[in-house]
């Protein structure tokens, strides 16, 4: 209690304390947030309130803004990249909602595909082989559902709003039906063909892979030089070679492809030379590489016998190094002169270039490597009773055996190991191979008609559609354009089971599919009713009318295709399966697709930059093919989340900061604050340290709000609000500043510049509010009578600032803004949650143009800085104390003196937090200033004043300290038993109805 009294041994006075007459901040808004404990409670409250439904209801009739969610893959807990992704989307949805749009958000999940199937395989083990397909699918479904549930819980935990009870799932029956419908759309419109082609093949997962499913990683391969002996007449190349033993040398890093070697490719325009080695053999290699090859193959001292163009080597024949096969000399302009020998061994079954070259020369592309990567020797090229040692081995095991076989036969001229980047399966990270197999393709060169009837290709229309979309950042457009321009046909088939079946009937006679729209419709309906499993469970006879006959060959025997669709096809049709089909979205989406009417909604896709080759890409292709236009109007891309070492955090690696761990220890709000703090268009760094930073900023913001709320205690807006015209100048200034801030923040939300919102709010709270306005206001808030106009003026502004700020931060500080909302002074008709409110309107905060007011005050802030410096100087001289113990002398000149004098003393003292201020003109008031500062100081100022417009000096305040407000004045008096109370405080006490307390009767 009263310490000094008891220390003096005087009995404690029961008289009321002067301090108790101050109006100190009072609020139930806790200083300590306890986010990990309190956030879940608030989530539960929102659920019971039905907040998302309420938002939808509130949005009815407003213009629609459609952010269509790209589905994350449902096979694990979320990582920071997910948190960034969903956090940004949530900022968009919330800010658009508060900006007056109806912004529904239907989250989605990508459920089919290899990673889940593999996991389920691992779990089931041998059992899988005995299980019927539908049972395995059921297990996959359950696995995916488990992670749909987990991720949903986690996304909600970090405060993301959306239709979480009923998200879209690519494995939902309806979605599967739509996916199949989309495939049939492609099929019926003639985009689809089935063909033999080299595709990336994962022998571990036994499936074809799309380009998007391949990642390049380092891999060590054997690097060998192999001799191919010429069997045609060497004199045909150059007379000098007549009768000589001539060979060429190929270089390869995949010895296992040699059994499939059918040709050697030369560049038609390169110079080739015939080199005579020390051994006497003659080798044909590219001139540019001759020296290098001679060294690598230890040819010794070489002699050039002839020089000629590669074109001359076409249709020569060579002997395969270990098979009984003639190898054809072919030409290809993909042969390069920087590595290898200029002679490229060509296996049409195992390379794209090789395949197309093979087609030109009618070579057989049959692949003798099976799905598991086992080589099966071509019986036509192997006449020995014993199969070769590599027969039946997988390609990696076959490599060294083939190398040994070459060595044995003297065909190995050089060898070593090479570490190079090599395609790997993005899911299992095993190296992949090229393998020519029968696959389903969507042709990018499909002829299509534009809206105006002109003829073009699918690829071309896709590129034209890209141009109509806003890409943010802008370079994304170039990126995806290049990808579409150069990509090969889309291989959409996979040899797995967990996905949407390519539900077609193939003619046993000619292998062509039945294309029958009515039949297809029936299968789609079947999927709708029973799910994709129906393809496996329903016998062919039931699915196919008995009278069916092949339109091509008339055959009547059919089989069901067993391949499934690429998962990128699944998610790539979400615009159809979700935007067009979901009752909450379809109406707005159809407005968008028609592109007509007054209010054409925006459709935004917002994902990581990797989706240029993923979801943005596949969605574009499917929508352009089936609807003739891009599925979005706006695409925004986020950079990568990097860990502290600067390594990318990616879906497949799953490294880095765990957002849920942060939410559990610091709060989901902290994760959100981090998301807001980064410029998402660039790569972003995250670490424990940076999260800590956000947590500290959070504390500061929270405390600022707490102080605002505390000082609004007792303020009833309808009763106490002071009209704008009657506000004190300082308070008016703050309103102008708040309007200015609001305008900026609204524009930043509009442009998705969330990090600027973060910065500006941060700065406003710390600099404008905490360090300035709130600090300055303490005197007025604490010591003036609660009902006084001056105090109400301040409260009016504090109230408006808080009302504006809480809305402006609500999209980011989702939990805290809502908590603040509950502690605001009651207002009739207030929404149940801040999230149901709209952003503040700048003109309702302050009616005038803020710019001139801000400019005027700018001058005063320079003065404030100077005064604080002066007080600091004075403190250093040994006098201690706070600003109120100081009296300040300001020396100014000319117009600035006039300007300062136009401000009342009280305002000046309040603004500077000092007890008294004297403003003197350097010239006009020299006498007075000499008195106050001393001749020496005055002369010094006068001589150094040239480059300044003012100087300030602090000295001990004169007068007596008021025990209530702590200002030093000349007019303190006793107020009852309270000693030294200034007249301002006395009248305040009067106004508060507190009579001077009288001493207690003597004991």
Partner RNA sequence: GGAGCCGUGCCUCAAUGGUCACAGGAGCGGAUUUAUAAUCCGAGAUCUGCUGCGGACACAGCAGGUGGGGGUUCAAGUCCCCCCGGCUCCGCCA
For RNA, the binding residues in 578-597 under the rule CB under 7 A are none
Minimum distance, C-beta of residue 921 to RNA, in the bound complex (Å): 20
Task: Write out the binding residues for RNA, residues 848-877 only, by CB under 7 A.
Answer: 858, 862, 865, 868-869, 871-872, 875
The Cα 914–Cα 519 span in angstroms is: 88
Task: Write out the binding residues for RNA, residues 901-940 only, by CB under 7 A.
Answer: none
Residue with Cβ nearer RNA (189 or 479): 479
Query: Per rule CB under 7 A, is residue 944 in the interface with RNA?
Result: no
Are 857 and 76 spatial neighbours (Cβ–Cβ below 8 Å)?
no
Minimum distance, C-beta of residue 248 to RNA, in the bound complex (Å): 12
Query: Per rule CB under 7 A, is residue 772 in the interface with RNA?
Result: yes
Sheet holding 433-442, edge to edge: 207-209, 192-202, 433-442, 490-491
Task: Write out the binding residues for RNA, residues 748-767 only, by CB under 7 A.
Answer: 755-756, 759, 762-763, 766-767
Piece of the chain touching RNA by CB under 7 A; list 100-108, 415-423, 518-526, 623-631: 415-423
Task: Write out the binding residues for RNA, residues 60-119 only, by CB under 7 A.
Answer: none
Which secondary-structure segment (H or E) carries 760? helix 754-763
Cis amide leading into 432 (omega within 30): no
Residue with Cβ nearer RNA (31 or 242): 31
Minimum distance, C-beta of residue 505 to RNA, in the bound complex (Å): 34
Which secondary-structure segment (H or E) carries 527? helix 517-530
Query: Per rule CB under 7 A, is residue 984 in the interface with RNA?
Result: no
Which secondary-structure segment (H or E) carries 572? helix 567-572
Minimum distance, C-beta of residue 792 to RNA, in the bound complex (Å): 18
Piece of the chain touching RNA by CB under 7 A; list 82-90, 91-99, 350-358, 463-471: 350-358
The Cα 313–Cα 311 span in angstroms is: 5
The Cα 475–Cα 637 span in angstroms is: 10
Residue 554: left if φ>0, alpha if ψ -120 to 50, beta else—which one? left
Query: Per rule CB under 7 A, is residue 352 in the interface with RNA?
Result: yes
Given 356, 640, 918, 945, the residue binding RNA (CB under 7 A):
640
Which secondary-structure segment (H or E) carries 950? strand 950-956
Q: Give the CA angle between residues 300, 306, 311 to the nearest 5°.
A: 115
Query: Per rule CB under 7 A, is residue 610 in the interface with RNA?
Result: yes
Are 835 and 814 spatial neighbours (Cβ–Cβ below 8 Å)?
yes
Task: Write out the binding residues for RNA, residues 279-338 only, by CB under 7 A.
Answer: 334-336, 338
Minimum distance, C-beta of residue 548 to RNA, in the bound complex (Å): 40
The Cα 476–Cα 464 span in angstroms is: 15
Number of residues that bind RNA (CB under 7 A): 95
Task: Write out the binding residues for RNA, residues 875-894 only, by CB under 7 A.
Answer: 875, 880-882
Binding mask 1-20 for RNA (x = CB under 7 A): ------------------x-
Task: Write out the binding residues for RNA, residues 949-978 only, by CB under 7 A.
Answer: 964-966
Query: Per rule CB under 7 A, is residue 943 in the interface with RNA?
Result: no
The Cα 628–Cα 449 span in angstroms is: 9
Binding mask 657-686 for RNA (x = CB under 7 A): ---------------------xx--xxxx-
The Cα 179–Cα 572 span in angstroms is: 9
Query: Per rule CB under 7 A, is residue 266 in the interface with RNA?
Result: no
Given 247, 248, 252, 833, the residue binding RNA (CB under 7 A):
252
Query: Per rule CB under 7 A, is residue 272 in the interface with RNA?
Result: no
Task: Write out the binding residues for RNA, residues 779-808 only, by CB under 7 A.
Answer: 779, 782-783
Are 859 and 903 spatial neighbours (Cβ–Cβ below 8 Å)?
no
Q: Give the CA angle between residues 806, 807, 813 to the nearest 5°.
A: 65
Query: Per rule CB under 7 A, is residue 422 in the interface with RNA?
Result: yes
Residue with Cβ nearer RNA (397 or 778): 778
Minimum distance, C-beta of residue 418 to RNA, in the bound complex (Å): 10
Query: Per rule CB under 7 A, is residue 478 in the interface with RNA?
Result: yes
Sign of the dihedral through C-alpha 491, 497, 502, 507: positive
Minimum distance, C-beta of residue 985 to RNA, in the bound complex (Å): 9
* Pick from 519, 491, 520, 615: nearest CA to 180: 520
The Cα 783–Cα 573 span in angstroms is: 66
- Return the residue matching tokens 């400019």: 855
Task: Write out the binding residues for RNA, residues 695-734 only, by CB under 7 A.
Answer: 696-697, 699-700, 703-704, 706-707, 710
- R_g of the chain computed on alpha carbons: 40
The Cα 157–Cα 159 span in angstroms is: 5
Binding mask 515-554 for RNA (x = CB under 7 A): ----------------------------------------
Task: Return the HEC string of 680-718.
Answer: CCCCEECCHHHHHHHHHHHHHHHHHHHHHHHHCCCCCHH
DSSP secondary structure letter of residue 64: B
Residue with Cβ nearer RNA (718 or 751): 751
């Amino acid at each position: 209690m009263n310490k000094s009294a008891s220390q003096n041994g005087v009995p404690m006075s029961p008289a009321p304390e002067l301090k108790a007459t101050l109006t100190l901040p009072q609020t139930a808004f806790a200083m300590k947030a306890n986010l990990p404990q309190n956030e879940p409670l608030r989530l539960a409250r929102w659920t019971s309130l039905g907040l998302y439904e309420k938002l939808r209801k509130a949005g009815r009739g407003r213009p629609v803004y459609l952010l269509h969610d790209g589905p994350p893959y449902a096979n694990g807990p979320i990582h920071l990249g997910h948190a960034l992704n969903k956090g940004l989307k949530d900022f968009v949805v919330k800010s658009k909602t508060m900006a007056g749009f109806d912004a529904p958000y239907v989250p989605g999940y990508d459920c089919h595909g290899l990673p889940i199937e593999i996991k389920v395989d691992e779990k089931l083990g041998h059992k899988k082989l005995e299980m019927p397909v539908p049972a395995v699918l059921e297990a996959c479904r359950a696995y995916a559902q488990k992670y749909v549930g987990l991720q949903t819980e986690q996304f909600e935990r970090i405060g993301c709003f959306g239709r979480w009870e009923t998200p879209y799932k690519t494995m939902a029956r309806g979605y599967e039906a739509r996916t199949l419908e989309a495939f049939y759309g492609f099929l019926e419109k003639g985009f689809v063909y089935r063909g033999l082609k080299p595709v990336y093949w994962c022998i571990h997962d036994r499936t074809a892979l799309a380009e998007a499913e391949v990642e390049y990683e380092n891999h060590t391969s054997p690097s060998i030089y192999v001799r191919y002996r010429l069997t045609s007449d060497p004199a045909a190349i150059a007379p000098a070679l007549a009768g000589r033993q001539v060979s060429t040398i190929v270089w390869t890093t995949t010895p296992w492809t040699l059994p499939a070697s059918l040709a050697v490719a030369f560049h038609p325009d390169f110079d080739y030379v015939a080199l005579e080695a020390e051994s006497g053999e003659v080798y044909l290699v590219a001139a540019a590489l001759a020296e290098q090859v001679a060294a690598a193959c230890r040819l010794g001292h070489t002699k050039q016998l002839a020089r000629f163009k590669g074109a001359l080597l076409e249709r020569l024949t060579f002997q395969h190094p270990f098979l009984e096969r003639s190898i054809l000399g072919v030409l290809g302009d993909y042969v390069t002169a920087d590595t290898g020998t200029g002679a490229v061994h060509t296996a049409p079954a195992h390379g794209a270039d090789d395949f197309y070259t093979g087609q030109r020369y009618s070579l057989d592309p049959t692949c003798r490597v099976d799905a598991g990567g086992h080589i099966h020797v071509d019986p036509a090229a192997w006449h020995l009773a014993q199969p070769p040692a590599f027969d039946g081995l997988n390609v990696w095991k076959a490599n060294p055996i083939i190398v040994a076989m070459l060595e044995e036969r003297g065909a190995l001229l050089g060898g070593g190991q090479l570490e190079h980047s090599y395609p790997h399966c993005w899911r299992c990270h095993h190296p992949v191979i090229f393998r020519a197999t029968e696959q389903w393709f969507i042709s990018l060169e499909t002829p299509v008609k534009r809206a105006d009837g002109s003829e073009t290709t699918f690829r071309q229309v896709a590129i034209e559609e890209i141009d109509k979309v806003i890409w943010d950042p802008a370079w994304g457009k170039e990126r995806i354009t290049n990808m579409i321009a150069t990509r090969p046909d889309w291989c959409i088939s996979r040899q797995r089971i967990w996905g949407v079946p390519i539900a077609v009937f193939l003619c046993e006679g000619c292998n062509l599919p039945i294309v029958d729209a009515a039949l297809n419709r029936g299968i789609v309906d079947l999927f709708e009713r029973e799910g994709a499993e129906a393809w496996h469970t329903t016998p062919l006879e039931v699915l196919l009318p008995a009278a069916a006959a092949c339109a091509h060959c008339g055959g009547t025997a059919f089989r069901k295709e067993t391949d499934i669709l690429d998962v990128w096809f699944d998610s790539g049709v979400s615009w159809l399966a979700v935007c067009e089909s979901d009752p909450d979205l379809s109406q707005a989406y159809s407005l968008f697709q028609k592109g007509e009417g007054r209010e054409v909604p925006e459709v935004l896709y917002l994902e990581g930059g990797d989706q240029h080759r993923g979801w943005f890409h596949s969605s574009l292709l499917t929508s352009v093919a089936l609807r003739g236009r891009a599925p979005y109007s706006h695409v925004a891309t986020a950079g990568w989340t990097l860990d502290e070492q600067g390594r990318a955090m990616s879906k497949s690696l799953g490294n880095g900061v765990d957002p849920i761990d942060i939410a559990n220890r610091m709060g989901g709000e902290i994760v959100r604050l981090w998301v807001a703090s980064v410029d998402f268009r660039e790569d972003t760094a995250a670490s424990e340290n940076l999260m800590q930073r956000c947590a500290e900023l959070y504390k500061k913001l929270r405390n600022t709000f707490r102080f605002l709320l505390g000082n609004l205690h007792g303020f009833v807006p309808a009763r106490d609000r002071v009209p704008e015209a009657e506000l004190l100048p300082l308070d008016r200034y703050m309103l102008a500043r708040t309007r200015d801030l609001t305008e900026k923040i609204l524009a930043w939300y509009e442009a998705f510049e969330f990090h600027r919102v973060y910065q500006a709010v941060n700065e406003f709270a710390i600099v404008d509010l905490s360090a300035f306005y709130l600090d300055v206001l303490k005197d007025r808030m604490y010591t003036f009578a609660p009902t006084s106009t001056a105090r109400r003026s301040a409260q009016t502004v504090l109230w408006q600032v808080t009302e504006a700020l809480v809305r402006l931060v609500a999209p980011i500080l989702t939990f805290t803004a809502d908590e603040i909302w509950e502690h605001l002074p009651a207002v009739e008709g207030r929404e149940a949650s801040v999230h149901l409110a709209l952003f503040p309107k700048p003109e309702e905060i302050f009616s005038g143009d803020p710019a001139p007011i801000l400019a005027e005050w700018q001058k005063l802030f320079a003065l404030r800085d100077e005064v604080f410096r002066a007080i600091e100087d004075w403190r250093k001289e040994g006098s201690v104390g706070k600003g109120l113990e100081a009296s300040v002398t300001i020396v100014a000149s000319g117009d600035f003196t006039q300007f300062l004098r136009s401000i009342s003393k009280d305002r000046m003292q309040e603004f500077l937090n000092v007890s008294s201020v004297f403003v003197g003109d350097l010239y006009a008031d020299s006498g007075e200033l000499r008195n106050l500062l001393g001749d020496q100081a005055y002369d010094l100022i006068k001589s150094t004043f040239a480059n300044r417009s003012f100087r300030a000096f602090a000295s001990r305040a004169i007068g007596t300290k008021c025990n209530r407000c702590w200002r030093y004045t000349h007019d303190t008096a006793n107020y009852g038993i309270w000693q030294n109370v200034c007249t301002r405080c006395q009248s305040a006490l009067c106004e508060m109805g507190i009579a001077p307390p009288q001493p207690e009767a003597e004991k």
